[in-house]
Structure 1
Amino acid sequence: MKSTAQLTIDEVNKAIIGIPVFKRVAILGAGVMGAQIAAHFTNAGIPSLLFDLPKEGMDKSAIAKKAIKSLVKQKPEPLAMATNASRITPCNYDDDLEKLTDCDLVIEAIAEKMEWKSDLYHKISPYLGDNAILASNTSGLSITELAESLPDNLRNRFLGIHFFNPPRYMPLVELIAQPQTSPEVVDTVESFCVATLGKGVVRARDTVNFIANRLGLFSMMSTFHHAQRLSLNFETVDALTGKSIGRPKSATLRTADLVGLDTMRHVLRNAAEHLGDDPWVSIYRIPDWLDTLIENGALGTKTKAGVYKKQDGEILVYEPTDNSYRKRKVKIPGKVEKVLKDYKNPERLAKLSAINDPHAEFLWSTQRDVFHYAAYLLDTIADNAREVDMAIRWGFGWKQGPFEIWQHAGWQRIADLIQQDIDAGKTLTGEPLPAWVNNIEAVHTSKGSWSPTDNSYHPRSRLPVYQRQRRPERLVGEQAAQHEVLFDNDSARFWLIDGDIGVLSFKTKMHTIDDGVLDSLNQAADLAEQQLTGMVIWQPDEPFSAGADLKSFMPVAMKSILPGSNALDNLLQKFQHSCIRMRKSNIPVVAGVQGLALGGGCELMMQCDRVVAALESYIGLVEVGVGLIPAGSGCMELARRASIKAAGGDRFEALKDIFETVAMGKVATSAEQAKAFGFLRESDIVVMNRHEVLHTAIAQVRALSAANYRPAIESPIRAGGRAAIANFKAAMTNMHAGGFISDYDMKIGTLVAHALCGGPVDAGTELPESWYLRYEREGFRSLLKSPKTHARVKHMLDTGKPLRN
């Protein structure tokens, strides 16, 4: 039998010196942000205390309890599993301050009022342990000024730790030291945030709004300014400032709605109040339309109306000229659209600057302003340009930070264009570009990122925690590590890491599985068995795999269902064999998963000896969404796992939840939930930081190899049989009667039941894996003949959404 030896997360952590463990934390403030920070600590397996003001009455911790209860209902889910809420202990400042003595880390997350924070620090300081670290989750208040409220012996353990909202999903954490903060404390918190919380950390200087909000807010206000100047409506602004320029699809105004228009106004007021010496301070004036919307109670997504609102199934946009909502109207000139189509073209910025059109002028002006502002601020807000670019990437979801975009377009060429606009009075201020801009050829190089403070390139952090990031995110201008390539074709690349472990990465769109990928899986396994210690299936970027490539698969499949043709069955057998070979190979095969692992991607993952999955992995067998059943070994594998789990017990009970998951096409929205659904095993590893997936997968290969790895011997699968099938059909009949599923859903569900239960045999009958694999293929083939399946496939390809016909 195959060994189940593995490295636990703690063991992996101990393998790298310098990764701290905070065993207990406290969050002060049970507002939306504080409660969600506590939730994310529980996602990392760390129990937390959630404090808030005492409430009058019998239960003084009622405020914190209500906040914890609300976490389960929020969207997107702050908790990786709803049960994680039980790890948060509600507390209040009257009865529970003594509990702080056992906490390693205390994070204050109350309202942005200096005097309130100061009063709280006076209250809690006597209860903090001698080694406890205190941090403020302020988004812009001075950390140095806050430190003045603390006793002398605590100031060296105090810093700013700014999470971005929502804390589970937003990668960025800004760390802000004050003059007395111990460097060791900053290193400790950074290492913890990176490895244990899965964050991207930048170190910001103690300036107003720090890095990301300072530049991100400026970018939004510059956008509003030029949109008004050039008479562009809101929806056109969003069409121009979203994916077409490498930013999130929420673009600008939709992002404002998501953040909350009232929150945005508060941040603007804070900026205007504290940035009196900023040459761009006038840009922070609150627009009239923003005040009007807030006065109308339209605060954005949280009130279901802001710049946009949904009415009768249609998205309407606010029209400030008459304080109404109307249909969206977007029309972008073809010459501008043509330039925007090629996102990676370094010529596009220069081309936009030369086009005589308000849309092109808008795009050039808004990006030029950000370059100008970022260059002016760099030596004030950050140590080097990398901190700025990564802050904007991680905090605002840009594919490239401002300095990267500038460098990609030609550093000196863009600098000259900016200076020409400054000289011509076209910029927001006449402030010249800093001298250092013209003294360098690039801001990011193989040496590091530029720091104007000492006129040198600063390399990446050498903290030991970053040794776990074998392929970290690279900036424009940085060189990726070179590895020996064992083979490289149109579908996949098989390369060597550490001299004896092969890494297979797919090159298809969304890393879908086509015939070439299947061939590459077998070729890689052949090479690994002959020459290597083991093999990892891992993608340098998300997703792991969106499943079978429907566009290439369906034409072949449709031709092969002709009478007398065995081509479809042969194709499915090849898919099944290629997946199962990962489990039956003579060397350990580990899947490193991040992002989507759907359909065939999930089936491939499940057949690997071990899976290392980032917490933010979305895993499921979704074939019913296109009118099919899993037929790449997924049903067989889940039946196999259920048989092992049931042992001599009730087979129906072991299969019940699995059937519901597959028949409804459920997708686990975290790796932890994927364990509950059965897609991941208890022995599979969940890591918080997606950049550590490869490192941990390599460690798992080595652990399996060191335990004298042998492939598993196939054991018979005990069937659920006709009794379990009858129970599933009865449940579906009730759902059908209630209008929850269609006739065709019933048909698909019945075929899923047969594939999971081994067909109409006696319960407990021992069947070989091949028996289940045949049922998968037969069910798949019968559905593929139906026009309703064709309609589902077409709808998915056209819209990306499932059709329930």
Structure 2
Amino acid sequence: MSNLIIRKVAVLGAGVMGAQIAAHLINAKVPVLLFDLPAKEGPKNAIALKAIENLKKLSPAPFGVKDDAQYIRPANYDDDIAKLAECDLVIEAIAERMDWKHDLYKKVAPHIAPSAIFATNTSGLSITALSDGFPDELKARFCGVHFFNPPRYMHLVELIPTATTRPEILDQLETFLTSVVGKGVVRAKDTPNFIANRVGVFSILAVIAEAAKFGLRFDEVDDLTGSRLGRAKSATFRTADVVGLDTMAHVIKTMQDTLKDDPFFPVYETPAVLAELVKKGALGQKTGGGFYKKEGKAIKVLDPKTGEYVDGGAKADELIGRILKRPPAERLKLLRESEHPQAQFLWSIFRDVYHYIGVHLESIADNARDVDLAIRWGFGWNEGPFEGWQTAGWKQIAQWVQEDIAAGKSLSNAPLPAWVLEGVVAEKGGVHTNEGSWSPASQTFVPRSSLSVYDKQVFRAPLAGETSADPKTYGKTLFETDAVRAWVDDRAGENDVLIVSFKSKMNTIGPSVIDGLTQAIELAEKDYKGLVVWQPTSLKLGTPGGPFSAGANLEEAMPAFMMGGAKGIEPFVKKFQQGMLRVKYASVPVISAVSGIALGGGCELALHSAKRVAHIESYMGLVEVGVGLVPAGGGLKEAALRAAEAATQVGATSDLLKFVQKSFENAALAKVSASALEARAMCYLKPSDTIVFNVFELLDVAKKETRALAAAGYRPPLRVTQVPVAGRSAISTIKASLVNMRDGRFISEHDFLIASRIAEAVCGGDVEAGSLVDEEWLLQLERRAFVDLLGTQKTQERIMGMLQTGKPVRN
């Protein structure tokens, strides 16, 4: 395969999707031209400029760092069309109108570079029909590339070829989307709504139909079909509100218009309640009301019988809640046999989806794996529908579905295909095996893609039925305790870097984790090129990512507190600090592979590492204020050291306050980065640290970075014995601003105390400005502040509140 380098991308259409695709490409450091129509008044690029400005206001944020909006170049078709020739990839993302798209293609096609890939981000229109009228040469470079909304956060991208798309084009684009943009790519057939929307929207329509049949409320249904089923917390109707009811109605309309011969065609009728809401302009979250409406602090839910909003809060029956916790086979058996309307509803929606995917697999996807990954990545299900069917017992479920079809209980009378009921799939107990996933067209189990980009994924997204590598047991274990596992990837050429993974809840760090980490460093220094701290939980799906570590394990420290009071905790704090110094001064590089949350002690572990490799969705911060404490694992000490280093580089050691100010604010306000890019701006990551966009590549990149440091003759930093600090004058300046905040009642008296102790630690304590101190002095300031605060009643209230409720107590 030739090496495709995407130097610049053009996005055609500055609407919601086009602008957000452009933003995420900028996150990935890909230059972007954002095109739209020339404005009739004002600057010709006004439409694109307004879209770029709007991106800064969106939540969730499309940019990792808001200021990066400046890197999107606005363009219009009158003045800038010749610039398309500079682009290696052109993505069209205008409204879902075939005629509008064709008109635009006629305009831009002559200007697209002869080697560039041309793609449409349509959510459901025929890719082949869109390519009608293209010259053959351009047809060969045209395909569908369907991002899911919001593009930064949704892992799925569907790649859809036409019959004439060159295979190498698809391979190149899949490689770029996977590694550079960080997506999970699924190849779909050119059928209406492709895979995820086809199955996902059918699933929603089935839920609406069955809820009406069994007389269930919308909030009741959402409680039943969200996290209880391992699906998105927003469940069904809340998700529809977030996506937009007009968008949902449009996708359903596409199915109505293009699937008239489908045996499930009657199901594609727009539900009356949805049609009425759209007619009224109640389009969900963006208009302030849809299936739900917020009135003051109360969330109201629509009563479809009266059209009025009523108090929400309907829940699953306790009996049904217990059934849903049973193993899959038992769960479905109990739901099917129960006469409770909630149970009958749940069995019905499972049956409807199994029926649908069984009938439609051959027409919408090459194999069952693509359906399961598309639904997991696009709709946030923890397991795909084929996986659910297979784990519950393939043959038994198939028999029950067939019986319901015969009894007229299902949404269609179409029989299940023969391959479901007999032959090799039935014999093997499902569609996923170690040989691959079932393809009805080829009558074989199709293995995973062999594209070289996937060589970087030590652990690919697992599927039920496959015996995939388990990251908790994979490789060769060198030692294992209750707290950590130290291991190597024992494949040839991969076994030169030691990996340590934590086993505590949320990967918190207590004395036993510190002991294991220290043992791993000693082993790495003896026999390996370096050590990577990497957590298997980075691969959790539906949504990939984290936690790296939620911080210090307060529960593990509680016995010491109960026996010795606040002073009894000091040895624990000192041990934590010494563990972090052991990481920093190890004679081989220790690299933190960060994904998801790295809070408190987790952030401090990363700060002390030789280097950090972080997934784009890394949320880092020193958040101990939330439990009434100060960071005491060396995080404030590192802030003081970095401030001194920065000041020294510009010859400004006489004004250290401005160099510690940002670090003080970050800790005092418990600020957490909203991305790895923002963590870099907050100085939790250094400019030299590596940011990875695909979480499945995190471990591989971290190992490669370890080898690179070792090959360059890695030496740990020299011990810090003389560092200039900002001193008492800077502490006084910070405290003066804190007094104003306290007196203005923006912070409590206890907040004032905690923030003052943070200021003392980052400024080096009660010494003259510019005084030289060592690392141990700074650690002692942290430790003393931590122990003193722990002895206060208000901090103890905050800790107990957090342990009991998981939420900060404001006192």
TM-score of the two chains, using structure 2 as the length reference: 0.95
| Residues 598 and 619, structure 2, Cα contact 8 Å, conserved in 1 | yes
State the Cα distance separating 1:331 from its structure 2 match: 4.1
Distance in 1 separating the partners of 2:298 and 2:795 = 29
Partner of 1:86: 70
Residue in 2 aligned with 1:594?
Answer: 595
Structure 1, unaligned runs of 5 or more: 1-16
For 2:324 and 2:42, the matched residues in 1 are separated by: 61
Shift of 1:352: 1.8
Instruction: Indicate whether 1:611 and 2:615 are aligned.
Output: no
Letter in 1 for 2:701: T
Q: Please give the alpha-carbon distance, in whole angstroms, between the structure 2 residues aligned to 1:560 and 1:692.
A: 45
* Contact 1:390/1:401 (8 A) holds in 2: yes
- What is the correspondence of 1:248-263 to structure 2 with a 5 Å cutoff? 248-263=232-247
Give 1:553's aligned amino acid.
Answer: A
Q: CA deviation at 1:514?
A: 2.5
Q: Classify the secondary structure of the residue corresponding to 1:485.
A: strand
Q: How do 1:106-117 residues align onto structure 2 when only pairs under 5 Å count?
A: 106-117=90-101
Backbone CA RMSD of aligned residues: 1.5
Name the amino acid aligned to 2:704.
A
1:421 and 2:404 matched: yes
1:166 corresponds to 2:170? no
Following superposition, the deviation at residue 738 of structure 1 comes to: 3.2
User: What's the counterpart of residue 376 of structure 1?
Assistant: 359
Q: Distance in 2 between matches of 1:553 and 1:430?
A: 61
In 1, Cα distance between equivalents of 2:3 and 2:516: 37
**1:626 counterpart = 2:632:** no
Q: Measure, in 2, the Cα distance between the counterparts of 1:522 and 1:508.
A: 16
Mapped contact 1:736–1:743 kept (Cα < 8 A): yes
- Deviation track 1:642-688 (CA, whole Å, cap 9, x = no partner) reads 11111141211110111111100000010010011111111111011
1:705 maps onto 2:710 in alignment: yes
Q: Out of 449, 460, 464, which is 1:472 matched to? A: 460
Instruction: State how far apart, in whole Å, the 2-side matches of 1:800 and 1:483 are.
Output: 35
Q: Is 1:491 the equivalent of 2:483?
A: yes
Cα distance, 1:729 vs structure 2? 0.8
- Indicate yes or no: 2:792 matched with 1:786: yes
- 1:747 aligned to 753, 758, 764, which one? 753
Picking from 408, 414, 420, the partner of 1:437 is 420
SS at match of 2:210: helix
Please point out which of 508, 512, 517 is paired with 1:512.
Answer: 508
Contact 2:588 2:715 in 1 (8 A): yes
Please show how residues 261-300 of structure 1 align to structure 2 within 5 Å. Answer: 261-300=245-284
Hey, what's the Cα distance between the residues in 2 that align with 1:235 and 1:597?
A: 34
Distance 1:448 1:19 in 2: 28
Aligned to 1:660: 665
Code of the residue aligned with 2:374 in structure 1: it is A
511, 535, 548: which one aligns with 1:544: 548
**1:303-359: CA deviations, max 9, x gaps?**
1221112222121111122221111242433321112235x6553222322222111
SS in 1 for 2:6: coil
Aligned residues of 1:561 and 1:781 also touching (Cα < 8 A): no
Aligned residue in 2 for 1:14 = none
1:199 pairs with 2:183: yes
SS in 2 for 1:341: coil
- The aligned length equals 785
Match of 1:446 in 2: 434
Q: Give the alignment partner of residue 411 of structure 1, picking from 394, 397, 418.
A: 394
3-state DSSP of counterpart to 1:667: coil
Q: Distance in 2 between matches of 1:794 and 1:568?
A: 16
Amino acid at match of 1:617: S
1:350/1:414 contact within 8 Å kept: no
Determine which of 290, 301, 306 is the counterpart of 1:322: 306
Q: What residue number does 2:531 align with?
A: 535
Contact 2:219/2:315 (CA < 8 Å) preserved in 1? no
Among 518, 521, 539, the residue aligned to 2:517 = 521
1:581 aligns with 582
1:184 and 2:168 correspond: yes
Is the 2:11–2:93 contact (alpha carbons within 8 Å) kept by the matching residues of 1?
A: yes
| CA positional deviation for 1:398 | 0.5
Q: Cα gap change, 1:19/1:569 in structure 2, threshold over 3 Å: closer, same or farther?
A: farther
- Distance in 1 between residues matched to 2:409 and 2:117, nearest whole Å: 48
Moved more, 240-249 or 540-549: 540-549
Q: Distance in 2 between matches of 1:142 and 1:740?
A: 56
Contact (CA 8 Å) 1:612, 1:687: kept in 2 or not?
yes
Q: Is the 8 A contact 1:19 1:191 kept in 2?
A: no
Q: Distance in 1 between matches of 2:196 and 2:377?
A: 9
Q: Which runs of 4+ in 1 moved over 4 A?
A: none
Partners of 2:224 and 2:315 within 8 A in 1: no
Report deviation, 1:151. Answer: 2.3
Q: Note if contact 1:36-1:78 (Cα within 8 Å) is conserved in structure 2.
A: yes
Report if aligned partners of 2:486, 2:520 keep a CA contact under 8 Å in 1: yes
Deviation at 1:560, TM superposition (A): 2.7
Cα contact 2:727–2:767 (8 A) shared by 1: yes
- Cα deviation, residue 384, structure 1: 0.8
Q: Which moved more, 1:207-216 or 1:705-714?
A: 705-714
- Give 3-state SS (helix, strand or coil) of 2:324's partner: helix
Query: 1:364 is aligned with what amino acid?
Result: W
Equivalent residue, structure 2, for 1:233: 217
TM-score, normalised via structure 1 length: 0.95
Q: Alpha-carbon deviation of 1:524? A: 1.4
CA shift for structure 1 position 277: 0.9
- The C-alpha deviation readout for 1:765-787, integer Å capped at 9, x for no partner, is 11111111111111111111222
- Counterpart CA distance in 1 for 2:635 and 2:450 is 43
| CA deviation after TM superposition for structure 1 residue 611, in Å | 0.6
Q: Aligned equivalents of 1:533 and 1:172: distance in 2?
A: 35
Does structure 2 retain, via aligned residues, the 8 Å contact 1:19–1:464?
no
Q: Give the conservation status (yes or no) of the 8 Å contact 2:497–2:707.
A: no
What is residue 4 of structure 1 aligned with on the other side?
none
8 Å Cα contact 2:223/2:315 also seen in 1: no
Q: Deviations over 1:712-757 (max 9, x none)?
A: 2112322111111111112212222333222111111000001111
3-state SS in 2 of match to 1:561: helix
Asked if the contact 1:583–1:589 (Cα under 8 Å) also holds between the matched residues in 2, the reply is: yes
CA distance in 1, matches of 2:347, 2:485: 38
The equivalent of 1:39 in structure 2 is: 23
The Cα of 1:556 is off from its aligned counterpart by 3.4
**Runs of at least 5 residues in structure 2 that lack an aligned partner in the other structure:** 538-545
- 1:143 maps to 2:127: yes
- In structure 2, distance between residues paired with 1:219 and 1:256: 12
Q: Take 2:31 and 2:315, find their aligned partners in 1: how far apart are those partners?
A: 52
1:723 and 2:729 correspond: yes
Output one character per residue of 1:82-137: Cα deviation in whole Å (capped at 9) or x when no partner: 12111111111111101111010000000000000001000001111110111000
Q: Determine the C-alpha separation between the residues in 1 that align with 2:482 and 2:208.
A: 44
Counterpart of 1:458 (choices 442, 446, 449) is 446
Q: Which amino acid aligns with 2:600?
A: G
The 8 Å contact of residues 486 and 498 in structure 2, kept in 1 or not, is answered as yes
Aligned partners of 2:4 and 2:511: how far apart in 1? 45
8 Å Cα contact 1:18-1:465 kept in structure 2: no
Partner of 1:415: helix, strand, or coil? helix
Superposition pairs of residues 676-691 of structure 1, within 5 angstroms: 676-691=681-696
Structure 1 window deviating more from structure 2 (103-112 vs 291-300): it is: 291-300
Report SS of the residue matched to 1:173.
strand
- 8 Å contact 2:557–2:572 — kept in the other structure? no
Determine helix, strand or coil for the equivalent of 1:347. helix
- Aligned pair 1:556/2:560, yes or no? yes
Q: Which moved more, 1:482-491 or 1:100-109?
A: 482-491
Counterpart amino acid of 2:462? R
Match of 1:696 in 2: 701
Q: Is the 8 A contact 1:614 1:687 kept in 2?
A: yes
In the TM superposition, residue 555 of structure 1 has moved relative to its aligned partner by 4.7
What's the secondary structure of 1:668's corresponding residue? Answer: coil
Matched AA of 1:424: A
The structure with higher relative contact order (CA 8 Å, sep 6+) is 1
Q: Which deviates the most, 284-293 or 384-393?
A: 284-293
Q: Distance in 1 between matches of 2:252 and 2:810?
A: 46
2:776 corresponds in structure 1 to 770
* Aligned-partner Cα distance in 2 for 1:671–1:389: 29
Q: In the superposition, relative to structure 1, how do residues 391 and 32 fare at CA in structure 2: closer, same or farther (>3 Å)?
A: same
